[in-house]
Structures are given as C-alpha cells and as structure tokens.
C-alpha cells in the first residue's frame, strides 16, 4: 500500500506539471525569456540578484518546505490516511502550484514588489496596512510553532554538530559560487560532501558528549529550569532555542547570496537524498519485507477527531503545507521573484518545487500510517482514542526515515540522526527567511513613524524578542492550528491578489479565483472555530493554581489572535472583491474603447 500511494502521487504530480502547468504557462501567462526581470534590472547584490534556475529550484524548495509538510500530514492521519492523501494530491494539483507560480510572476511583472506593496497597488492603501499587520502576526506564529520544535530537536546530542557543519558548508557554497566563480557542479559536490561528513561526525561520541554536557549545565537534577502549562522547560531547550534564533538572525541581516540562499541550496541536497533514500527503502521493503509497508491506520477514522476537531475545516489547516501554503507566496514574491533571471525559469522553479513538496508530504503520511509502535514497543497511535497521536509528529517522521533508510544499509543510529537533522534543517532554513520577512514587514508598517525599524538589526532583534517570549512561556496551546489557519488564509489572500492582477490584464482568472474562494471560506471557518475553542473549550487538566491561570491566559491570547486574523482577512476580502469587480468592468469595456 505504501509504495502504491507514493507511485500514484508521483504520477499525478508529473501529469499536473507536464500538462496543466504547461498550458497555463504558455496560453495564459505567456512567460517571455526576453522580458527583463527585477533581478536583472535592480541587481543590488543584497535582495535583488540573478541566479541560476538550478540553484533557485533548490533554494525555493528548501525555502517553502519546512515542518508543515511533515508535522501537518502526520497529525492529520488521525482522521485517516485517505483524507490526508486526497487533500495533498488534489490541493497541489488545483491550488498549490497555482499560487506559487502565479505569485512569482505577479511580483516579477511589478518590479519585485512585496505582498504589502502589491496589496496597496491592486486593492487599496488601507489593504496594505491591514495585510502587513496580518502578516506580522502570521510570521510570529510560524516562528513560535517551528521554534518550539527546533529547540527540542537540538537537545538531541546527535543534531547540533551536524547542523553546524551543514550551515558552514552552505556559507562556503555562497563564497565559491559568487566570489570565487567556481563551477556549480564542483561547488555542489564539495559542499554537500562536507555537510554529509559533518553530519556523520556529529554522531561520534565526542560530539554527543559535548552537547550532553551543555544540556546538563543548569537547572535542577533533571535539567529543568521551570514549569510551563505544557511541561517542564529544560535548560537545553532554553539554550538551543537561543542558538537557533542566532542562526535565523544571520539569515535575516546578511546579504541573501552570502547566507540564506546557499545554506538553503546545500540543505536541499541533503533533504533530497533523505527523501530519495526513504522512497528507495520503501520500494525494496515492499518486495523483501525488510520493514512494514502495510498501513496500520484505517483509511478513514472519524469526522470529528476529539483531539483536533472536524475534518472540515480543521484538516485543511492542520495540513498547512504540501497541498497549498500561504508562506510560499511570501517566498515567491519577496525572495524568488527578485532572483529569477528569466521568466521561463518560473515554471520549473516555483511550480516544480511545489509539486516536489507534495511528494514529501505524502511520504510523511506513509511514515505515519506504517508506524503503529516505537522501537521499544510503546504505541505511537492510541486506537482506543480514535488514533490519538501519543508521541511527537517529528519523532514519527525521524523514526520512519530511520526505518526505511536501514533497508538500504544505513545503521539505525545514523538513520535516526539523519531524520532528526532533516527536521531541524526543514524548520531553520525557513525560519531564517521568516525573520527576514518579519523585519521587512515591520519596516514597511511602522518604519516611517519609528525609523529604528528600518534598521535590519533592530527589526530582527525585536522579532527575536517576541519569538523568545513564545518559546520561553509556551503559552499557546492551539498555536499549530492558529499557524495553519493563518498560513492557509494567506494563500487565499495571495490568490485574491493574483485574480485581480489577471483580471486587470484581461487574462483568464477562474483558475486562481475559485481556489482562492475555497481557501478563504475554509480557513476563516477554521480560525473562528479555533478561537471559539480557545475561549470556551476544555482547558485540560489545569483546573487551579498559577499554571492553570497561565494556561487560560495563553488560550485567551490565542483566541484573540484567531479573531483578529479572521476579521482582518474578511476586511481584505471585502476591499479585494470590490477591486476585482472594477478590474473586470474595465477589462470588459476595453475593446469598445480601442
């Protein structure tokens, strides 16, 4: 079953890219390789800089694919594996690639504008301010959702050194490519080998002993600093959270070619080797029985998962990447569109990377559906509680990757380290861009009133401060669903902007408009339901004491943010639909005025 699901996904991905994407690219958008792009017109060596399409594919994939296509699908399997797979395949075919590809071209044909600038131009001046405020909260949710997972991953003694080596290999790749002008193939081979050797060295006893020593420096006898409503805050989690955010700080303030782009490019190769190795392991295991490839989770479990909510709308925001993700429109507009050298590179870079992410997301479902117990025999899913996930989704993924890599001869301990570093890479290589976009958003929103926010260092440090508040207090019980709702709602906003642009240009736009409507209705419903549950739902086992008070305050904050995001989105939709109506009217009247 596992192999069949993966093969069907790959076939559908190929067909979507080969036919649907090509038709839109040639007949509607009409990408022109001779049209000047913002990267060539405004080349400043910082944000605008032409790059090879091959490099940008790796950059785009690693910039859009974070923990969303891993944690989301694994969590969503609690409704059954079939709804998760159907949404991933249908979503990417009709919605996901549409947003990524069209958002890149929208920005490229409008001088590399950010989402805030595009909202100002295509909707209204008021829309720019609302969107930027929405964007800042949304990005903060990403930092909190991913940061809390990464800080825990780095307490694994086998992870930090491997990740540091990979980062240094990425910095070297930038130097070799843009300063020393070394051939890209040579650069790739050298830096990826350095990264892989570093990951192996990080599993050596000396490296793990250093990390273990750091983890035990402070706290009580168990290394605990203080209690939160969600469990103890260990010194290791506290410390490695700071280290992770320092990495993000470098990605935010350094020139894109020096850190963010090359680190993501080298990370892409590590990630792809992990994906290919796992798929190969699944294929071999399907014939020799080396590992279980039968789905242990039912195809359909329940409509109302008590630990999550209704299949609609909550599944569609729990799977926050893989089918579609609003985060991708930010990468495509503020990042990739400013580096594409030719318009014709947009299809393989933006659409191709999105389809590839869908394969990763379905692989996550396979890992989840074939794992009913951990190595020590303790359950991963509790069947008596509607398949409640009784362990972390990240652990399910790392364990699944280790199981299937073992089929191709990689030792279990090294495979586990690869899986854990895979997760850290997926999160941090995106978080560095999130922080970069946060400081850009704050500069656009209040930079004219508070000039300090125009300083890249100050804006980045303020965003880091807010993120640390989330990581160190762990207030937000519903942060993943809030992040997923905000993320998918941003996809609806991006598709609305794309629709208005296409209508103004007199081009067919139903292929963007109807997916945008679906995303809007679904995600506003999810945010309102999440806000309601935060205010009035079960507050868990904390019924008294200071921890219970903090728990309720955290839920209250989550509920207020959910309400704000939903209302801001509805406001933007109102203004956007009026702009769309005007654009359609002008396009219809244009022939008569010629």
For residue 473, the model assigns a pLDDT of 66
For residue 548, the model assigns a pLDDT of 60
For residue 474, the model assigns a pLDDT of 54
Torsion of CA 322, 326, 331, 336, to 10 degrees: 80
CA distance 486 to 568: 11
Read out DSSP for 330-368? HIIIIIGGGTBSSGGGHIIIIIHHHHHHHHHHHHHHHHH
Distances (CA, A) of 191 to 42, 176, 331: 29, 9, 24
pLDDT of 187 higher than 90: yes
pLDDT of 6 higher than 90: yes
Judged by DSSP in three states, 537 sits in coil
> What percentage of the chain reaches a pLDDT higher than 70?
93
Distances (CA, A) of 376 to 183, 379, 541: 47, 9, 28
Mean pLDDT across 16-37: 94
For residue 307, the model assigns a pLDDT of 74
**pTM, whole model, 2 decimals?**
0.88
Tokens linked to 561? 């943010």
pLDDT in tens, 315-371: 998 898 899 999 999 899 988 999 999 999 999 999 999 999 999 999 999 999 998
CA distance 89 to 323: 7
- In terms of C-beta density within 10 A (0-12 exposed, 13-18 middle, 19 or more buried), how is residue 376 classed? exposed
Q: Is there a contact between 79 and 351 (Cβ–Cβ < 8 Å)? A: no
Most confident range (mean pLDDT) of 57-61, 149-153, 292-296, 487-491 is 57-61
Q: Is there a contact between 95 and 498 (Cβ–Cβ < 8 Å)? A: no
Distances (CA, A) of 587 to 501, 538, 580, 593: 11, 52, 10, 10
Q: 445-459, 477-491, 567-581 — which is least confidently predicted?
A: 477-491
Judged by DSSP in three states, 310 sits in strand
Handedness of CA 192, 394, 415, 79 (dihedral sign): negative
Confidence category of residue 85, pLDDT binned at 50, 70, 90: very high
Confidence category of residue 477, pLDDT binned at 50, 70, 90: very low
pLDDT of 481 higher than 90: no
For residue 594, the model assigns a pLDDT of 41
pLDDT of 273 higher than 90: yes
For residue 480, the model assigns a pLDDT of 66
β-pairing, 224-228 with 231-234? Answer: antiparallel
Read out DSSP for 93-141? IIIIHHHHHHHHHHHHTTTT--HHHHHHHHT-HHHHHHHHHHHHHHHHH
pLDDT in tens, 282-292: 999 999 887 88
CA distance 250 to 52: 23
> What percentage of the chain reaches a pLDDT higher than 90?
55
pLDDT in tens, 516-569: 999 999 988 888 887 777 677 655 444 455 556 655 666 677 677 778 888 888
Strand partners, 305: 309
Q: Is pLDDT larger for residue 229 or for residue 161?
A: 161
Judged by DSSP in three states, 550 sits in helix
Strand partners, 232: 227
Please name which of 77, 104, 273, 243 lies closest in space to residue 167, comparing C-alpha atoms.
243
β-pairing, 381-382 with 388-389? Answer: antiparallel
Read out DSSP for 368-406? HHT-SB-TTS-BSEEGGGTSEE-S-HHHHHHHHHHHHHG
Mean pLDDT across 253-276: 92
Mean pLDDT across 573-577: 88
């Amino acid at each position: 079953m596992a192999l069949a699901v993966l093969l069907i996904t790959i076939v559908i991905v190929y067909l979507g890219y080969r036919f649907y994407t090509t038709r839109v690219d040639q007949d509607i958008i009409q990408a022109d390789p001779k049209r000047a792009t913002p990267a060539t017109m405004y080349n400043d060596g910082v944000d605008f800089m032409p790059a090879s399409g091959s490099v940008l594919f790796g950059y785009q994939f690693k910039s859009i694919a974070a923990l969303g296509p891993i944690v989301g699908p694994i969590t969503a399997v609690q409704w059954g594996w079939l709804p998760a797979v159907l949404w991933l395949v249908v979503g990417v075919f009709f919605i996901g690639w549409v947003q990524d590809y069209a958002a890149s071209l929208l920005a490229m044909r409008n001088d590399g504008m950010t989402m805030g600038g595009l909202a100002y131009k295509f909707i209204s001046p008021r829309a720019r301010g609302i969107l930027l405020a929405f964007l800042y909260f949304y990005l903060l949710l990403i930092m909190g959702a991913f940061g809390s997972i990464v800080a825990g991953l780095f307490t694994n003694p086998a992870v930090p050194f491997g990740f540091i080596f990979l980062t240094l290999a990425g910095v070297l790749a930038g130097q070799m490519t843009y300063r020393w002008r070394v051939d890209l193939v040579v650069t790739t081979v050298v830096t990826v080998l350095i990264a892989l050797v570093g990951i192996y060295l990080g599993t050596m006893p000396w490296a793990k002993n250093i990390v273990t020593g750091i983890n035990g420096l402070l706290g009580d006898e168990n290394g605990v600093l203080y209690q939160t409503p969600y469990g103890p805050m260990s010194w290791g989690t506290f410390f490695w959270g700071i280290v992770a955010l320092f990495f993000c700080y470098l990605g935010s303030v350094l020139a894109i070619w020096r850190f963010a782009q090359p680190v993501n490019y080298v990370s892409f190769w590590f990630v792809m080797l992990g994906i290919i190795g796992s798929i190969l392991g699944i294929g071999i295991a399907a014939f020799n029985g080396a590992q279980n490839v039968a789905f242990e989770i039912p195809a359909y479990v329940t409509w109302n998962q008590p630990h999550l909510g209704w299949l609609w709308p909550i599944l569609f925001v729990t799977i926050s990447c893989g089918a579609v993700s609003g985060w991708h429109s930010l990468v495509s507009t503020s990042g990739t569109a400013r580096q594409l050298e030719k318009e014709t590179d947009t299809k393989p870079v933006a659409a191709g990377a999105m389809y590839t992410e869908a394969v990763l997301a379905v692989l996550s479902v396979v890992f989840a559906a074939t794992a009913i117990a951990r190595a020590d025999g303790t359950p991963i899913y509790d069947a008596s509680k509607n398949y409640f996930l009784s362990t972390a989704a990240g652990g399910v993924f790392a364990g699944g990757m280790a199981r299937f890599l073992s089929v191709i001869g990689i030792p279990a301990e090294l495979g586990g380290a690869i899986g854990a570093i895979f997760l850290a890479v997926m999160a941090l290589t995106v978080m560095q861009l999130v922080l970069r976009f946060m400081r850009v958003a704050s500069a656009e929103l209040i930079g004219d009133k508070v000039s300090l926010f125009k300083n890249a260092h100050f804006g980045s440090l303020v965003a880091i401060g807010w993120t640390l508040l989330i990581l160190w207090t762990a207030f937000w019980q519903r942060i993943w669903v809030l992040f997923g709702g905000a993320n998918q709602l941003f996809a609806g906003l991006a598709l609305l902007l794309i629709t208005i642009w296409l209508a103004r240009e007199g081009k067919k736009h139903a292929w963007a408009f109807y997916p945008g409507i679906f995303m809007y209705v679904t995600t506003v419903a999810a945010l309102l339901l999440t806000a309601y549950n935060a205010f009035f739902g079960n507050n868990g086992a904390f019924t008294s004491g200071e921890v219970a008070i903090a728990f309720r305050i955290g839920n209250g904050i989550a509920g207020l943010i959910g309400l704000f995001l939903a209302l801001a989105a509805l406001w933007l939709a109102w203004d956007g639909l009026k702009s769309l109506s005007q654009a359609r009217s002008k396009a219809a009247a244009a022939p008569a005025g010629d």
